[in-house]
Structure 1
Amino acid sequence: MTKFSKLWLTSLLILSFASGCSSTNTAPVDKGKGEEAIKTDPATIKMAVSNNMFTEEDFAKYVSEPVKKKYPHITVERINTSEKGSSMTDLIAAGTVPDIVGYYPGNLSNINDLNLTFNIEDLIKKHRFDTSRIAPEVMETVKIASNQSYIVGFAAYHNPFGLFYNKDVFDRMGIPYPKDNMTWDDLKELSVKITRVDNGIQYRGLYPDFLYRGARQLALPYADFQTNKSLLNTDPWKDLFQLWSSMYEISGMTAGDYKMLNYGKNEQAFIKGELAMLAGYSNTLNALKKAPDVKWDVVTYPSNKKAPGVAHRVDSPVLAITSQSPNKDAAFQVLETILSDEVQTDMVRNGRMTVLNSQKVKDEFGKGIPEFNGKNLIALTKPKMAIISQIKYLNEGEVDKITNNAFQSVINKEKDINTALREADELLNKHIETQLKNIK
């Protein structure tokens, strides 16, 4: 067995057994005699989050209002990092350090680069917060993504993934609808049957999205951090390239405007009734809410045979308390409130997946959206979440560009898979060298 195979096998074992064990669980503890009292002085907590994590309306609904109700002495203010001049780099340069910052897992290590990292485990004990309420794969992802051995924050919610299908397209073709627990291979066969020109219209079967979706589902490692070398030019990545490209090689799948991979365009094609299946995520519910005439439903996200029952990796805004916060008790109480059953249930009812283990909370998914009555939305909550693979010092956005460009060149028949992977491997090694120089 090669060194890479061992690394990859370890990742898959973590996926399989994360629900049974986790080193991050912290059971409630008794308060000691000498323990510091929890402050109740009036406090204003500044939380820096992007607009796609919490809109102003959602922030009020899921953060500031429930916190004020539970802890009247705490006021929570939102800093929208999506606004020009309000990025974390801009804020710190201006001398404004928020009490809480939000990052998605792929960028969570930024807190280390910005000297914001804080170990919240003492606060967990002090506030008697039971981390076993949170899904272990979520807790493990936070640790791996932060590059720390301790807990730096909590995930607020999860963006779940599913397979959306347009009933009109299936009815037109006389083909049965997809079902829960189908694999990419199953759906590729279905896509072949659907993809055709009918009455002058090009109908397409399945849009699986970018290659990195498949990589994150398998928790494929980008690099070996012992040798600081790329792992892109290896069999597991080659296998994924072959699977993913086979779904686009179906005649007609990349016709016309769909030569370049683009989720938004394919979402619109799905709504228009020219794409039968869209492997997507919960944000698509917002688009479908605005298209009441579309006859659609959803089943579980397609699984890879190498990771059965696993959908996409944890896709959650992680809220971390900064080391500079002067109000850490109040900041923790904000996190505690967001993770309460009440707030999590409210989020779930409105289309955001809980990070809690509670099946009772999960069962409420989408029930607050009357437009979706009768839809199989519970399918988005069924699969396991994959755990993030180690990123360390890599810029995940840059790595995704490398793999996506390589894959696009294969789809465009500009390069074969071996050439694309070899060149991508070289580019990633250059990125690794650059990142290591920056660290030094």
Structure 2
Amino acid sequence: MKSWIRLSGTIAIAASLSGSLLAGCSTGKQQGAAETGKKQPIELVFYQTGNADWKEEDFMKNYGDYIKQKFPYITPKFVPVPASKSMEGLISGGQQFDILIFSIGHTHLNLLRNDFQYDLTDLIKKKNVDLNRFEPFTIQQQKEIAGGGIYGLPLSNTSPVIMYNKDIFDKFGVPYPKDGMTWDEIYNLAKQVTRNDNGTQYYGFLASPEHFLKTNQFSAPFIDPKTLKPAFDNPKMMTFLDNLKRFYQLIPPPDGKPLAGGFFASTAQSNMFAKDKTLAMWSHFSNAALNFPEDLNWDYAAMPYFKELGAGGPQAYPGYIYISKTSKYKDDAMDVLQALTSDEFQTIRSKTGVESALKNPDIKKTFAQDLPKYKGKNINAIFPQTYAAPAPLTEYNDLAWKRLNTAVGDIGRGQKDIVTAVREASELLAKDIEAEKPKK
């Protein structure tokens, strides 16, 4: 995940971690907390991707203060990621980790590739962890990755949604997008607001390609998990790409030149929507709104659906919390995992704009209650009634995403047709995978 936008869990929750905390968590007995007086002090080392700018105080506000309150004998230590050093660089330098926090997109890249995975099945039984509390797809995804086991507990969730600028729609007298629309209906709205007005070009719809593709509603894989061959050319993915292409075709090329790279990059799209205010509709994860300026007149609409699929949401993009196989304190670490996935803590996070991976509807109702900019917003749009099934993942998906992103740019600029762009991307990905295999 690009560091320009913060994933779930990056909003400070220190104000909520005062004496107002409820007395107990709702995930079953907290083994470590009850025995605090008998425990010897220990240190648990945490590592998290997706927050390259985090410092120790950021981690403490988001997680550490809560952990200290629940388990005074535990000292949480956060290892920031310096810009000059990767996780592998930290490991080679002798750094040890106890608890790891990764989005699903980083799980293969950082957890499995570095051989940190540890099956929690026995600890889940020992601690009476109720997996039925979580959204089913989050557990299904873990079991698929772990071959029937489970490496991590769902810590957060997010999925794409449409954010739209009300002022642009008002300016041109076009009705707002709403929940339950088809992609054809969204396309018709995009056509109506893609205009040049007194020298200012307005654009109808853009989507962050990386996030859009990862959560595609067809659950189309990027790589065949059995053969490890590229799967870009499967019919479902081709349909998904064709749908995206038509939105780029609405955009007039500047002076007859191909579209600039910014039309295919999250940062530039964010600026077009929130800063320049020239983009009418933007699809990204819902927490992109955390960075919106206060004067932006915006709202949410649910992701549209494909007629052939029927009403239903995209895939989700959960964040998970893992225990490293190298940890000497797995039992204590599991107590921490229970605390951070409790109803209590998940409610605190939800109020700060972090989507919970729990099914509890009461927690979902608290979403962003502490953030004034969300007042009156269509919060229901970010919680699909049904999510698309998780597509199969492999340890090479990060290579696949990069190749397909490039292909989307070529397609969107009109430089290559879909068949050619996908074929070439597949050929390059096959070479990438072969080059990566010896490193395992």
Note closer, same or farther for the CA distance 1:28–1:122 as it changes in structure 2 (3 Å cut): farther
Q: Structure 2 matches for 1:32-181, cutoff 5 A?
A: 40-50=39-49, 52=51, 55-56=54-55, 57-85=57-85, 87-109=86-108, 110-144=110-144, 146-181=145-180
Is 1:328 the counterpart of 2:327? The answer is no
Gaps in structure 1 of 5+ consecutive residues = 1-26, 32-36
Shift of 1:224: 2.6
> Residue 268 in 1 paired to residue 267 in 2?
no
- Amino acid across the alignment from 2:284: G
> Please, which moves more after superposition, 218-227 or 90-99?
218-227
Identity over the aligned pairs, expressed in percent?
A: 28
| 1:25-424 → structure 2 map (5 Å cutoff) | 40-50=39-49, 52=51, 55-56=54-55, 57-85=57-85, 87-109=86-108, 110-144=110-144, 146-210=145-209, 213-214=212-213, 216-217=215-216, 218-252=218-252, 259-260=260-261, 261-271=264-274, 272-288=276-292, 291-394=293-396, 396-424=397-425
Further displaced range: 429-438 or 158-167 = 429-438
Name whichever of 221-230 and 123-132 sits farther off.
221-230
Structure 1 residues 44 and 307, CA gap change in structure 2 (3 angstroms): farther
Residue 312 of structure 1: CA displacement?
Answer: 3.7
Deviation of 1:164 (Å): 0.9
1:409, distance to aligned residue in structure 2 (A): 1.3
Aligned pairs, number: 402
Structure 2 letter corresponding to 1:269: M
CA distance in 2, matches of 1:240, 1:254: 26
Give, in angstroms, the shift of residue 388 of structure 1. Answer: 3.4
Contact map agreement 2:100 2:324 (CA 8 A) in 1: yes
Q: Aligned-pair distance for 1:59?
A: 2.6
State whether residues 105 and 317 of structure 1, in contact with CA within 8 Å, keep that contact through their aligned partners in structure 2: yes
In structure 2, do the counterparts of structure 1 residues 333 and 211 end up closer, same or farther at CA, with 3 Å as the change threshold?
closer
Residue type at the aligned position of 1:324: T
Letter in 2 for 1:379: A
Task: Report the Cα offset of residue 328 of structure 1.
Answer: 0.9
The equivalent residue for 2:17 is none
> Any unmatched runs of 5+ in structure 2?
1-26
Cα deviations by residue, 1:53-105 (Å, 9 ceiling, x for unpaired): 894455323421222222222221111235533x3212221222110122221
**1:155–1:83 CA distance, 2 compared to 1 (3 A):** farther
State the AA in 2 paired with 1:220: A
Q: What's the offset of the Cα at 1:160?
A: 3.8
In structure 2, the partner of 1:9 is none
What amino acid is aligned across from residue 426 of structure 1 in structure 2? E
Kindly tell me: are residues 253 and 383 of structure 1, through their superposed partners in 2, closer, same or farther at Cα, counting changes over 3 Å? farther
Residue 215 (structure 1) shift: 5.2
Residue 326 of structure 1 aligns with an amino acid whose one-letter code is: K
User: CA offset at residue 355 of structure 1?
Assistant: 0.5
The residue that corresponds to 1:10 in the other structure is: none
Partners of 1:151 and 1:254 lie apart in 2 by: 50
**1:81 & 1:385 partners in 2: Cα distance?**
32
1:50/1:80 contact within 8 Å kept: no
Question: Aligned partners of 1:402, 1:53: CA distance in 2, in Å?
Answer: 23
Using a 3 Å threshold, how does the CA distance of structure 1 residues 205 and 362 change in structure 2: closer, same or farther? same
- Do the aligned residues in 2 keep the contact of 1:224 with 1:230 (CA within 8 Å)? yes
2:82 & 2:129 partners in 1: Cα distance? 31
Q: Which amino acid aligns with 2:266?
A: Y
Runs of 4 or more consecutive aligned structure 1 residues displaced over 6 Å after TM superposition: 253-257
Q: Do the aligned residues in 2 keep the contact of 1:248 with 1:254 (CA within 8 Å)? A: no
> What TM-score results when the alignment is normalised by the length of structure 1?
0.84
| Partners of 1:153 and 1:319 within 8 A in 2 | yes
What is the rounded CA distance, in whole Å, between the counterparts of 2:254 and 2:149 in structure 1? 45
Measured against aligned partners, the alpha-carbon deviations of 1:254-294 in whole angstroms (never above 9, x if no partner) come to 78895321222222222232111111223322221xx2222
Contact kept? 2:52, 2:83, Cα under 8 Å = no
User: What's 1:22 paired with?
Assistant: none
Aligned amino acid, residue 266 of structure 1: Q
Structure 2 distance, partners of 1:82, 1:311, is 36
RMSD: 2.7
C-alpha separation in 2, matches of 1:376 and 1:80? 35
Question: Does structure 2 conserve the Cα–Cα contact (< 8 Å) formed by 1:212 and 1:403?
Answer: no
Contact 1:120 1:151 in 2 (8 A): yes
Amino acid of the structure 1 residue aligned with 2:91:
I
Work out the CA distance in 2 between the residues paired with 1:257 and 1:75: 54
Alpha-carbon separation, structure 2, partners of 1:215 and 1:392: 13
| Stretch moving more, 233-242 or 338-347 | 233-242
1:338/1:309 CA distance change after superposition, 3 Å: farther
Question: Per the alignment, in what secondary structure is the counterpart of residue 192 of structure 1?
Answer: helix
CA contact (8 A) 1:156 1:338 kept: yes
**Following the alignment from structure 2 to structure 1, what is the Cα–Cα distance between the partners of residues 389 and 52?**
20
CA distance in 1, matches of 2:291, 2:51: 15
Q: Structure 1 CA distance, aligned partners of 2:254 and 2:338?
A: 47
**CA offset digits 1:154-189 (Å, max 9, x no partner):** 121113432111111011101111111223221111
Would the aligned equivalents of 1:297 and 1:375 in 2 still touch at CA under 8 Å? Answer: yes
Residues 133 and 70 of structure 1, relative CA distance in 2, 3 Å threshold: same
Aligned residue number for residue 24 of structure 1: none
**1:123 partner letter:** L
